[in-house]
Amino acid sequence: MNRISRRALLQGTAATLACTGFVAGPAGAATPRIEAPVVDSLSIQVVTDGNHDIFISGAQVPGVRVERVRGFRGAQERRVLRSEWGLSLWLTSAKGAEEKRLLLDFGWTGETLNNNLELLGLDPATLDALVVSHGHLDHLGGLDDFLARHRARMKEDLRLYLGGEDAFCQRLSPAGNGAFASFGRLDRTMLAEARIRPVLSEDPLVIEGHAFTTGAVPRVTQERVLPNTYVVFGQQDGAGCEVAKYASHHFTPAELAGQPVPDQHLHEHATCYHVKGRGLVVITSCGHAGILNTVRRAREVTGVEKVHALVGGFHLAPAPADYLNRIMAELKAQDIDFVFPMHCSGANFLEAAKRDMPQALVLCTTGSRFTFTA
């Protein structure tokens, strides 16, 4: 297995902030390659996002079927889709007569996730696999309650795909005056009790013969991890991440002392598809490693240059204006047909996209479904 050392993963981040183009990765670093499955169609339904706009435009997009959820009638008339700070996406792909269904991330709460799954008519018993993009509470907070309600009806050999050991670390958010508040920790014991098999891979990995992950995303463009959470390496009270499983990510004694350090999201990964005749659909979920870095990684590991759509959270809400403008300039040069910003992308990104690439921008809201076909 080709592993990326932490030094190689982060190399170039600080040195390329002023650059406008891609820079070469570390000398001698081997890029793992996979044969990306080709699917005939892919639909992405937004189960949980930050808002539900019943008046959002239903205008169609060339090559993409857009479906909006306005409201409910009959027995569901007085119920509504709930929105919260978090993201959860239901992914359905078809290859010939074969269909596969994945649930990517679980939002902040199981209450919202379970409510929306029911209203949208999405049956967890039909899922083939689960995916967690990274170890933040707004992406894994609903997992426990989701499994408590639905696990008994789901397939026995159910796998949860993760980018690596980093997903199990304790995350913290600054609470002021040097204090921290918990921002989530994926619980191994809970997964074991629910008979969920974690699949950890720092390398790209094919999921259920239809999708693939990017694996760890090297930081080789001008992007940097914008301020977000802190992370605690190691285990506390029998839970947390096992540093010995971190391949060649050599930690300093200070990092191993159990103190919170700025989070670099070493193993956050993207979930991707290769849609026949269209190209790659890259789903970043939160994109802490950078959307340019992630797109580059998806291209490199598959050898597929064409990117049809970039979907998910882009984590540009906290970006300073000059930084955002540089990212937008590079994004425009990538020949991406459509961008679907969600979650942490930010109102600033929306305004910039309306200005710089209006033909590519597709607005998103809780409940919307987007279908890509050959």
Which tens digits make up the pLDDT trace of 112-146?
999 999 999 999 999 999 999 999 999 999 999 99
- 193-216 mean pLDDT: 96
Q: Residue 174's beta-bridge partner residues?
A: 180
pLDDT of residue 34: 94
Burial classification of residue 355, based on how many CB atoms lie within 10 Å of its CB (0-12 exposed, 13-18 middle, 19 or more buried): exposed
pLDDT of residue 1: 42
Q: How confident is the model at residue 274 (pLDDT cuts 50, 70, 90)?
A: very high
Distance CA 158, CA 165 (A): 19
- 292-315 mean pLDDT: 98
Above 70 in pLDDT, residue 25? Answer: no
pLDDT of residue 335: 93
- 160-173 mean pLDDT: 93
Rg (the chain; Cα; Å):
20
Distance CA 253, CA 245 (A): 16
Beta-carbon contacts of 15 under 8 Å, excluding residues fewer than 6 positions away, are 23
pLDDT of residue 232: 93
Above 60 in pLDDT, residue 29? Answer: no
Could you tell me the pTM of the whole model?
A: 0.92
pLDDT of residue 247: 62
Q: How confident is the model at residue 4 (pLDDT cuts 50, 70, 90)?
A: low
Picking from 203, 165, 213, 214, the residue whose alpha carbon sits closest to that of residue 186 is 165
Domain boundaries, the chain: 34-373
Residue with tokens 């009638």: 73
The residue type of 12 is G
Q: Is 186 left (phi over 0), alpha (psi -120 to 50) or beta?
A: beta
Picking from 190, 195, 268, 196, the residue whose alpha carbon sits closest to that of residue 229 is 268
Distance CA 288, CA 316 (A): 9
Q: Count CB-CB contacts under 10 A for residue 153.
A: 11
Distance of CA 124 to the CA centre of its chain: 20
| In 120-260, alpha helices (H) | 137-140, 143-150, 188-193
List, edge to edge, every strand of the sheet that includes 98-104. Answer: 64-67, 369-373, 41-48, 88-95, 98-104, 129-131, 158-162, 196-200
Q: Residue 313's beta-bridge partner residues?
A: 342
Q: Count the helices and strands in the chain (H runs, E runs).
A: 8, 21
Above 50 in pLDDT, residue 18? Answer: no
Domain 34-373 = CATH 3.90.1170.50: no
